[in-house]
Amino acid sequence: MVVLLITTGCNKNKLIKPELGKNKTEIILRPGEFRVVKTIHGEAASYFLFWVDISPALISMNQAPVPVISFALGKPNLHQRAMRKLNSQHNLQGKPQILHNFLEEWSLANYLGLFAILKLSISAEVIEFTRKSEP
């Protein structure tokens, strides 16, 4: 057990999860056809006991950490909870608006392998399309 504590240490890593399995849409935005309404954020965290991972190898590959051993102490569906909080900050109904420039940031705080906090932060800009002024 002492060897496990020495090898895991205390660390806190920020990781960007790759865009695997997501649909991407390209929209060409020209000046005067849109305006940025605001930036919205959503966060979710989950707590774990006995988190042992191979994060140094994963950090170089820009992937979210995958533990070898862990016991979840809460709701693990981080993406769903973070998106729910993000969407609750602005009503997109009734106006020609989209969410643009999504950024997902994963962070892991690991305390000697005994306790860990995995956190997902998502941010996006709300873009509203404006009508072109006719000549």
Share the mean pLDDT of the chain. Answer: 75
pTM above 0.75, yes or no: no
Closest CA to 44 of 82, 90, 2: 82
Q: Is residue 102 part of a domain?
A: yes
Question: For the chain, what is the domain count?
Answer: 1
Tens-digit pLDDT profile for residues 19-58? 555 667 777 778 888 889 999 999 999 888 887 776 554 4
Q: Is residue 56 part of a domain?
A: yes
Band of the pLDDT at 94, cuts 50, 70, 90? confident
Contact 20, 94 (CB under 8 A): no
Q: Counting Cβ atoms within 10 Å, is residue 115 exposed (0-12), middle (13-18) or buried (19+)? A: middle
Q: Is residue 135 part of a domain?
A: no
Q: Is residue 134 part of a domain?
A: no
Tens-digit pLDDT profile for residues 74-86? 777 888 999 999 9
Q: Domain limits at 71?
A: 2-20+30-129
